[in-house]
Amino acid sequence: MRKQVALATDEPRNGTKGGVRRSRSNGTVPTGSHVRQAFDMLPCPAAIRSASGKYEVINQAFAAAFGLSPDAAEATNDTLLPAPVASAVKRAADQASADGRPASLSCELRDATAARTYAVTCVPLPAPPHTEALSLVTVSEPARRVDESPRPTDDLMCGILASHADGLLIVTDSRVELANRTMCEWLGRTPDQVVGHNPAEFIVPSELPRSLQRLAAMPDGEGLGAAEYTLVSQDGSHVPVEVSTTRFASGGREVIVSVLRDLRDRHAAMDAQQAHLRHLERLDRISEAFGRSLDADQMIENVLQEILTAFDCDRAGLVYPLDAAATELDTPAMASVPGFEPPRPGEIKVAMDDEMREHFSDLLVSDGPLCATDLDPWWRPPAIARQLGVRAYMGTVMRPRIGAPWLLLLNRCTEPRPWSREEQRLFQDVAHRLSDIMSHVLLYRHLTESQRDLEQAVAELQRSNTELERFALIVSHDLKEPLRTIANCVQVLQMKLSASDDPAVLRLAADAVAGAFRMSLLIDDLLSYSRAGVSDRPFEPTDMNRVLERALSDLRPMIEESGALVTHEALPTVVGDPVQLAQVLRNLIGNAVKFRGPLPLRVHLSATSRNGTWVISVRDNGMGFEELYKEQIFEIFQRLHASQERPGTGIGLAICKKIVERHGGRIWAESSPGSGSTFHLSIPGHGADSVGGRT
């Protein structure tokens, strides 16, 4: 609460300014013991110091602060002060004397427990001609005490009172006897316009009764606690002050001394704090609306309703997407107070003119809101005004991380409306929060739609694979049946022609039977290839030593016939399908036997661990192949030799690649002609290695 003290309301005695005389300072200063008492009432240590370092006058606070006697000022000099303080006083006094204006320095005093910082201020004072320069010295300290009785002073008190930073007012017999420079500045008056007047003239009238009541209850010689009051300046403006008042008798007269401190900065800080708290409260209410619903449309509606309440507007809405190049304006979301309901969705179709397009372009490059207090005189979009009745407007751009920008807008439809800086900051904060929330909402929508599309694609792929597998089964059955018929018929012809002497006929019959069998084998391999990438069996920990034993058991006749020697190191346990992994090893070892060279065939299997993945290698000393074919050999139907030279359909390695990729790994080969080949396949591991041996 802003308050004011009433210093006096009685009429002046004899209508004169008795006891007042002019000084060379900027105020009017009296003489007498009450001025000395005013000097002693200063809230900080103060003294009058000559240029030679001697002290003419010291107040009680100064004496108490440095352990001096108030009655022995003439014996006081800089040497009696603590060295840091004395040094700071001398430097500040020299600077003030040289510059002709106050000078301030700081110093630090340390004791056994703490360090205290003091501010030393020196104010140059007027002095009689041919005398030493004088200055008013004040020292701010953490604590002070006043326990000495006053004593008389001289005319130098005028400089002290006139130059004090706080407002000082001395009232004698209900009339102002002294007002220092600060007090006159607050009141917007000269000293002559203040001295001799009743102080009630400078106080807000509504606070006079309380001031009189406090003054009447104040005992003589004692002070009143600080209270807040309001002064009235000559231009009618108000100055909030904190007033400390003391009343005492001097020379048969009642003297009231008041020390006033300007509270405008404090009140401005409090007002700013209150405004900030209101800002946070409104922002919290709007933010709370975000959590009322998980549905994006309902959430936007809740937020817009809270924005309407927070800003006391008729309508709030969103425009999406914000596009200055658009030909029409559309607002998919809008809320309003009763009586200003927006048109239904789809009804706001307004042609964008050049002025609106320029306004939207400004919004897109603006760092904050754009406001219009009154659209009627300076911004006339006729179609908008006709359809929405907009009179005042504030809009800002929201930029979610996904998609195009949005426009958040506020409308006042009935009358012009100014937009304060606080409201603009709040509006921008709301837009930022809404942008963040909309980013998550849009991302969630995007992910949900992507997940739905992915699930549909997976379902379609599963359906396609099922149909493809069914088709492969049907085709393999339907193709193999006529092949068997052809082969049987040709074999019967061979038997009947066995006695024939024509070798060409017999050769043709043999070729027909061999072609039918190759076609049947090719159909079987195609069916295996179509099934290689899919399986109903789940992955499980698989001991590759046992998988190798199964593959070697299936290949035993071929290995014994070729005289090959297959060895292996301890193979690991991996996660996979043991049946398909056995097929991979069977195909790789079988290829080594089929494509062996002139030397006795040697096949060796080994395994190494790489970052949780096992790499199983199958090395042979066969005929090998050119390095340029290392990718081609894994493609379906790709053969490096004619079927007459080496048996096979060219599908085995393609099947291996498809199985390994189903296990989350890859397969590759290294080879050179005449030096054998090495095939590597990587498979995710599972725990420690199993112990294997040589075969």
% of residues, the chain, pLDDT over 70: 69
Which one of 278-287, 305-314, 496-505 scores highest in mean pLDDT?
A: 305-314
Residue range 118-146: mean pLDDT, rounded:
71
Q: Look up residue 639 and give its amino acid.
A: R
Q: What angle do CA 269, 270, 271 make, to 5 degrees?
A: 90
593 has pLDDT over 80:
yes
The pLDDT value given to residue 157:
56
Report which of residues 11 and 206 the model is more confident about: 206
Report which of residues 224 and 431 the model is more confident about: 431
611 has pLDDT over 70:
yes
The pLDDT value given to residue 214:
76
Q: In this structure, are residues 170 and 257 in contact, taking their beta carbons and an 8 Å threshold?
A: yes
The pLDDT value given to residue 585:
92
Question: What is the assigned CATH class of domain 13-253?
Answer: alpha beta
The pLDDT value given to residue 150:
38
175 has pLDDT over 80:
yes
Question: Between helices 544-562 and 578-594, what is the axis angle to 10°?
Answer: 30
Please say whether the dihedral angle defined by the alpha carbons of residues 292, 294, 298 and 300, taken in this order, is positive or negative.
Answer: positive
Which of 99-103, 210-214, 372-376, 636-640 has the lowest average pLDDT? 636-640
Q: How far apart are CA 165 and CA 227, in angstroms?
A: 19
The pLDDT value given to residue 7:
30
617 has pLDDT over 80:
yes
Which one of 18-32, 361-375, 407-421, 567-581 scores highest in mean pLDDT?
A: 567-581
Averaged confidence pLDDT in the chain:
75
Return the residue matching tokens 């790709």.
638
Report yes or no on whether pTM surpasses 0.75: no
* CATH number assigned to the domain covering 293-419: 3.30.450.40
Task: Read off the pLDDT band of 545 (50, 70, 90).
Answer: very high
Report which of residues 361 and 181 the model is more confident about: 181
158 has pLDDT over 90:
no
The pLDDT value given to residue 591:
87
182 has pLDDT over 80:
yes
Q: Which two tokens stand for residue 264?
A: 């405008």
The pLDDT value given to residue 31:
42
517 has pLDDT over 80:
no
27 has pLDDT over 70:
no
Report which of residues 537 and 560 the model is more confident about: 560
Which of 298-312, 385-399, 607-621 has the lowest average pLDDT? 385-399
Task: Read off the pLDDT band of 5 (50, 70, 90).
Answer: very low
Task: Read off the pLDDT band of 327 (50, 70, 90).
Answer: low
Any bridge partners for residue 668, and if so which? 680
Q: In this structure, are residues 592 and 601 in contact, taking their beta carbons and an 8 Å threshold?
A: yes
Q: In this structure, are residues 543 and 524 in contact, taking their beta carbons and an 8 Å threshold?
A: no
3 has pLDDT over 70:
no
Digit-coded pLDDT (tens) for 338-390 = 666 665 555 555 556 676 677 677 777 777 888 878 776 544 444 555 566 77
Task: Read off the pLDDT band of 208 (50, 70, 90).
Answer: confident
- Region label for 624, one of left (φ > 0), alpha (ψ between -120 and 50) or beta (otherwise): left
The pLDDT value given to residue 604:
94
Q: Which two tokens stand for residue 544?
A: 């590759």
Which of 184-193, 458-467, 549-558, 682-691 has the lowest average pLDDT? 682-691
Residue range 392-413: mean pLDDT, rounded:
82
Question: What is the assigned CATH class of domain 537-684?
Answer: alpha beta
Long-range contacts of 383-391 (CB under 8 A, 24+ apart): 383/350, 383/351, 383/353, 384/329, 384/350, 384/356, 387/343, 387/348, 387/350, 388/315, 388/342, 388/348, 388/413, 389/340, 389/413, 391/415, 391/416, 391/417
The pLDDT value given to residue 21:
30
Q: In this structure, are residues 395 and 388 in contact, taking their beta carbons and an 8 Å threshold?
A: no
Check for a shared fold between 13-253 and 293-419.
Answer: yes
**Domain limits of the chain?**
13-253, 293-419, 458-530, 537-684
Which one of 483-492, 610-619, 635-644 scores highest in mean pLDDT?
A: 610-619
